[in-house]
Structure 1
C-alpha cells in the first residue's frame, strides 16, 4: 500500500503543478459535497421540529436552507464527476503518458522489448495513463464518500445508537466488491498476452503491407479464425471473472438490504413509543433513504479505487524495472577520440530472456582498429545478436567487451552511441519529412541539408531523393497524406541515415542490402568500403558488415564465421578458402547458385 500512497502523492503534486485551477475546484467540490449531506438533514429536522413547536420563522428558515443545500448537492453530483474526469484526463494524457514513453526510450538496452512480462504490463500501462491519474481522484472521492457515510451514520446515531450497526451492513458491499475486483485484476494480467495477440492479428487485416499477402494467399479466414481464438482465450476468462465479481457484489448488496430494512423498522417502532421527536423521525427516514445512495457512491468510488490496482500494480512494476535497469547503467567513461587497439570480446555469452538456448556462446574475438570485419553464417547463428551487443543494446550474461582496453560496460552509453552508426536488417521506417528521416541518424545535424545530401550520396540514394514530389521536403507515409517508399527505397534511406555521423568509432551494416538488387548492392558495398577506409584513417573506426551474401564480403580484412553462437572460423577470404571449411563450403554453394540463376 505504501507504493499506492506514494504514487497518489506524486499524482496530486503533478496535478497541482500542471492543473492548479482544476485541482483546487475539484478539491473544493469534494469538500462541499461532504458538508451538504449533514447540512441538508439537520436543516430538515429543524424545520419539522419548528413546525411542531409552532415557530413559523424557524420552520421557514429550516425549509429554505434544506432546499438550497439539496439544490447545491444536485449540482455538485454532476460537477464533481466532471471536474475529476477532466483533471485526470489532462494529467494522464499530457503528463503521465509522455513520461511512460520517455522511460521506455531511456532504457539502455533492447531486451526489455523482447520480454513478455515487460510487454504484458506496458500494454496495460500505455493504454491506462488517464486511469492512473484518475486513481488518485477516485481515492479522494472514496475518502469524501466515506466521510459522507460517517456523517450519515452519526446523524442516525443521534436518533438511536442501535442504528450505528448499519455501518457493519454498509461495509459488506465494499468488502465483497473488493474481493470480486481482485479476481478481475488477476485474470486480466494472466490473459494480457492472449489479448495482445488478438490485437496484433486484428491489425494484420487492416494494414496495407500485410493486407497484400493475406489477399493473395487467401489467408483472410485463417487470420480471422486465429484472431477469434485469441479473443476467446483472452475474453472468456475475463468474462467469467466479471461474473464472479458480479456474484460477490450481489451478496454484498443483499446483506446491506437486510440491515437497511431492519434499521427503518427500529426507528419507526421507537418513535411510536415516544422515544424521539417528529424531526428525529423525519431525519432518520430521510437519511436512511439517502443511505442507499451514499453507500452506493461509496462502493462505486472504493471499487474504482480498488480496481485501479490493475493499472497501478503494472505501473509500479514498470517503474521498479526502469529503476533497476538504470541502477545497472554505471558507465561514465567517455569513449576514446580515436581507436588505437580496437574492440575485444572475452568469453562473451548471451541467451535471450526466458530461453536456455545460447545466442552467443563463449566468444573470444578481436576487431582491430581501422579494420573492416565481416560476420557471416546461416540464419540463427548469432550475427545480429553480436552487433547489437557491440551497440550496447544487450548486455553479456558472462564475459566482457573491451574498447581500447576499457570495458564497454564502463563506457558512457549515450556518448558511445554518439560515436556509433548502424543500419539493422529490421530498420526503422520513420514517416516524417524525407530530410528528417535521414537526418535522424545524427540529431546534431538533422537540419543540415548538405550533411543529408552527403549521406544520400554515400548510400547511392541521390536519385531517390530527387525523384520524390517535393525532394527532401517530401512527407513520407500515405496515412499522413504523403508518399510511400518501396522496400528497397526504405533500405537506402536507412543506409543514408546510418551515414549521417561523420566520425563514428563503430560502423555497423547489418544485412544492409537485403532488399536491393545485385547491381545496386555492388555499388553500395564499393562506396561503403571506401567510406570504411576513410573512417579508419580518421578515427581508427571498426566497420562491421553482416551479410548472408558471401560474395559481398570478400574484400573484408577479417571474416568471422559463426555457427549456433560459436566462432568456428576466422581469417580473410583467401585464408578461409584455402582452409576448405564451412566458409569455403557456403561460398561455393552460393557461387554455384548465382552462376546458374
Structure 2
C-alpha cells in the first residue's frame, strides 16, 4: 500500500498544480456519482418497504429517488471524464517534457551510449503512458473508496455483522499487490527483449530499410528472429501471468464466499423478523455493488501499483546525478585558440566496454589548419571527433584548446565555438527556416541568416525549390520528402549557421551525395575552411574515405586500431611509404587499372 499512496500522492499533486479547475470539476462529479450508486440500493429498499406497506405515495417518491440516483450513476462519470481526460493529457505531456529533459541532461554523451541506460529509458517511455492513465485511475479510485465506505456504513444499519463483508475485501487487495509485484519483476527483466522486438519491427517496416530487405530476401529471416524473441517474451510473461491470475483468483474466491454468507445472513434476519424485506433487497443490492466496487478497486489498485514502479524509476532518474558530472569548471575558454588543439595521452573507453577505442593519442591540430582523419572503419575517427568537440570526456589524458584543458571549461562555452556535421546527421523535420536555423538558435528566425548558410553550403537547386516556411519530412500531411543527399546538404547548411567557429567538424560529409553535389560540398568546404582560418584562426577537421578529398587538407592524420600511426602532409606521407601511402595506392588503382 505504501507504493500506491506514494504514486497517488505524487500524481494527483502534479495534476492539481497543472489544472486545478479540471481537477475540482472531475473529482467533484466523480464523488457525486459515487454517492449516487449506493443511493440506488437505499432507494430500492425503501421502495419495496413502502410497496409492501401499501403506501403508493411513498413508493412513488422513492421510485423518483431511484430514477434520479440511476441517472446520476450513469451520467456523472461521463461528464467527469471530459475534465479528467484532458487533465491526464496535460500530465502525460508534462512527463514527456521531463523525460526529454532528463535524457538530454548532462554535458556529455556517456549515458546515451550506455545500453543499460537505453533499457531504462525504454521502460520509462512505456511508464509515461501508464502514469497518464493513473491520473484518471487515481480520481476514480478515490470515488470508489467513498462508495465502499458508504456501502459499508449502510450495511451496518442492517447488521454490524455485515461489516465483515468489507473486511474480507482486504484479501483480494493484499494478494493482488503481491501479484502485481511479481509481474513487475518479470517485466523489467524482459526490457532488453522488448526493445529488440521493437527494433526489429522498425527495421522491417521502415521505408529506408525495406529496399535492402526485399532485394536480399531477408523478410523471412527478420520475421523468424522476431518470432523467436516473441516466444522468449511470451514464455516468461506467460508464466508470470499464470502466477498473477492464481493470486488474483484466490483473493476473489475469499471475497465471493464472504458475499454468499452476507446474502444468507440477510435472509436469516428477515426470517426472524429482525429485518424488513426492503432491507433484504438493500443488502443484496449493496453486496452486489460492493462486489463490483471491490473488483474495480482491485483492478485500479493494480494499475496504480504498476504505475508506482514506473514513477519510482522516474523519480530515481531525476534524483540520480549524471554519471558524467565532474568538478566544477575553473577556467574560461580563451578568446583565441592560440596554437590550436592538442591531445595529450588521450584514451577513451565507452561505458560498459572492456577495451579502449582510443589508446594514448598525442596529437597537435594547428590553428588555421584543415586536418583530414584517415583510417579503416572502427579505427576511432568518429570517437576522436566527439572528444575534440567536448561531447565525451577522455577516460585518461587531456584535450587542450589554446593551452586550456577543456575539462576545466564550461562545456557550453566550447560548444558555442564548435560547428559539426556527423555522418549520422539529424533529419530535422521542421520548416526549412527552422531546420537550418536551429544550427544557431540566436538566428533561428532570421531568414537572411538562413539564406546565407544555404548559399555558403551551395545546396544547389534545393534552396530555390523550397520556401522558408515549407515543411520538411513525411511526418506532416503537407511535408516535403527529401532524399538522403538533400537532407545531408541541409545538415551542412545548418552547420554553417555558425560562421565563426573555432572548430569545424565534418564526419563523412559527402556520404549520401551524388558526384555533382559532392563537388559542390568540397568546394564549399574549402571556402569555409579558408574563411575560418582567416577570420578566427579556427581548426577544421574532416573524416572521409575519399582520398582525392583528403589530398586537399593541410595535414593528414592516420588512425589504426585507436592509435595515431602517421601524420603529416599528403606529400610527406606518400614519400614515407607507410599506411597512408598504401591506402592512397589502393584507391588510385581502382581508377587507373583497366
- Normalised by the size of structure 1, how large is the TM-score? 0.87
Root-mean-square deviation (CA), in Å? 3.4
| 8 Å contact kept, 2:3–2:308 | no
133-142 vs 38-47, which moves further? 38-47
Match of 2:89 in 1: 89
How far 1:421 moved relative to its partner?
0.4
Counterpart of 1:246 in 2: which secondary structure?
A: helix
- What CA distance in whole angstroms lies between the structure 1 residues aligned with 2:23 and 2:517? 61
- What CA distance in whole angstroms lies between the structure 2 residues aligned with 1:212 and 1:47? 72
- What CA distance in whole angstroms lies between the structure 1 residues aligned with 2:407 and 2:572? 34
| 8 Å contact kept, 2:430–2:471 | yes
Match of 2:370 in 1: 372
- What CA distance in whole angstroms lies between the structure 2 residues aligned with 1:162 and 1:5? 29
Q: How does 1:301-312 map to 2 (within 5 A)?
A: 301-309=300-308, 311-312=310-311
Counterpart of 2:354 in 1: which secondary structure?
A: coil
Counterpart of 1:568 in 2: which secondary structure?
A: strand
| 8 Å contact kept, 1:122–1:314 | no
Match of 2:294 in 1: 295
Please list the CA deviations of residues 8-65 of structure 1 after superposition, one character each: whole Å capped at 9, or x if unmatched. 5554354334433321111112332444455555566666677888988777666654
Counterpart of 2:283 in 1: which secondary structure?
A: helix
- What CA distance in whole angstroms lies between the structure 2 residues aligned with 1:393 and 1:5? 41
Q: How does 1:430-441 map to 2 (within 5 A)?
A: 430-441=428-439
Which of 461, 471, 477 aligns to 2:473? It is 477
Cα gap change, 1:317/1:4 in structure 2, threshold over 3 Å: closer, same or farther?
farther
How far 1:424 moved relative to its partner?
0.7
Q: How does 1:55-134 map to 2 (within 5 A)?
A: 64-65=64-65, 67-81=67-81, 83-93=83-93, 95-134=94-133
- What CA distance in whole angstroms lies between the structure 2 residues aligned with 1:377 and 1:517? 23
Match of 1:252 in 2: 251
- What CA distance in whole angstroms lies between the structure 2 residues aligned with 1:508 and 1:299? 57
- What CA distance in whole angstroms lies between the structure 2 residues aligned with 1:137 and 1:419? 47
How far 1:368 moved relative to its partner?
3.0
Cα gap change, 1:383/1:7 in structure 2, threshold over 3 Å: closer, same or farther?
farther
Counterpart of 1:346 in 2: which secondary structure?
A: strand
How far 1:327 moved relative to its partner?
5.5
- What CA distance in whole angstroms lies between the structure 1 residues aligned with 2:25 and 2:80? 9
- What CA distance in whole angstroms lies between the structure 2 residues aligned with 1:345 and 1:570? 14
Counterpart of 2:384 in 1: which secondary structure?
A: helix
Please list the CA deviations of residues 146-202 of structure 1 after superposition, one character each: whole Å capped at 9, or x if unmatched. 333233233333443433332342122222322332333333333333333333333
Match of 1:26 in 2: 26
How far 1:380 moved relative to its partner?
0.4
How far 1:355 moved relative to its partner?
2.0
Q: Is 1:361 aligned to 2:356, yes or no?
A: no
| 8 Å contact kept, 1:89–1:130 | no
Cα gap change, 1:87/1:501 in structure 2, threshold over 3 Å: closer, same or farther?
same
Q: Which runs of 5+ in 1 are unaligned?
A: none
Which of 506, 529, 539 aligns to 2:503? It is 506
- What CA distance in whole angstroms lies between the structure 2 residues aligned with 1:35 and 1:463? 69
Match of 2:526 in 1: 529
225-234 vs 354-363, which moves further? 225-234
Cα gap change, 1:251/1:497 in structure 2, threshold over 3 Å: closer, same or farther?
same
Q: How does 1:266-281 map to 2 (within 5 A)?
A: 266-276=265-275, 280-281=279-280
Match of 2:405 in 1: 407
- What CA distance in whole angstroms lies between the structure 2 residues aligned with 1:111 and 1:241? 34
| 8 Å contact kept, 2:334–2:404 | no
| 8 Å contact kept, 1:474–1:483 | yes
- What CA distance in whole angstroms lies between the structure 1 residues aligned with 2:79 and 2:568? 76
- What CA distance in whole angstroms lies between the structure 1 residues aligned with 2:4 and 2:168? 27
Match of 2:579 in 1: 582
- Normalised by the size of structure 2, how large is the TM-score? 0.87
Please list the CA deviations of residues 429-457 of structure 1 after superposition, one character each: whole Å capped at 9, or x if unmatched. 23344444333322323344443343334
